[in-house]
Copies of this chain bind each other. A is one copy, B any other.
Amino acid sequence: MELNVYLAGQIHDNWREEFRKAASEWELPLQFFGPMENHDRSDNIGEEILGEQPDNIFKDEAASAFNNLRTQILLQKADVVIALFGEKYKQWNTAMDAATAIALNKPLIIVRPKELHHPVKELANKANVVVETKEQALKALSYVFEAN
């Protein structure tokens, strides 16, 4: 059995790489998916494909259409979703992907620093598990495969 894991969260640094590396070291049969991690690419994909847009709002609307296409396809392939919240950025995408996972009956792991407990509390209450570190999230997935 192999599990597909969608990694929802910001795309300003390469935190997803840590998951890929640790899962490989721990020899967990996990396949990771996620949004485009090149932030500029993600912001420009609308104009890259459709050409210049009238202003920044339309540029964003165009980009988000392609980003949502990608997310919808990959989220539907996922067996479980990990949503990481951090101190910076609005992260409404992350909250959106997490809530979508819950509504689609996809198991959800939230990773957030303790300090963020208050603003994320309603999402946290609906998630399967809430942890503070990436390693804890991976332990949660590792537990699914363990025999005894």
Residue ranges of A at the interface with B (Cβ–Cβ < 8 Å): 1, 3, 31, 33, 36-38, 41, 45, 48-50, 54-58, 60-61, 63-74, 76-77, 79-80, 85, 89-93, 95-100, 102-105, 107, 109, 114, 116-126, 128-131, 136, 139-140, 143-144, 146-148
Q: With the chains together, A3 CA to B36 CA distance in Å?
A: 17
Nearest chain B CB to A9 CB, angstrom units: 12
In the bound complex, residues from chain B placing their C-beta under 8 Å from that of A90 are: 90-91, 116, 119-120
Number of copies of this kind of chain in the complex: 8
Q: With the chains together, A55 CA to B55 CA distance in Å?
A: 12
Given A70-B144, A91-B92, A147-B37, decide whether A65 and B125 contact each other with a Cβ distance below 8 A. yes
Nearest chain B CB to A90 CB, angstrom units: 4
**In the complex, what residue of chain B is closest to A57 when comparing beta carbons?**
B117
Those 8 A-B pairs whose CB atoms lie nearest each other, nearest first: A103-B103, A90-B119, A95-B95, A99-B99, A38-B148, A54-B54, A64-B125, A64-B121
| A96, B98: Cβ atoms closer than 8 Å | yes
Q: With the chains together, A118 CA to B146 CA distance in Å?
A: 22
| A92, B89: Cβ atoms closer than 8 Å | no
Nearest chain B CB to A112 CB, angstrom units: 10
In the bound complex, residues from chain B placing their C-beta under 8 Å from that of A97 are: 99
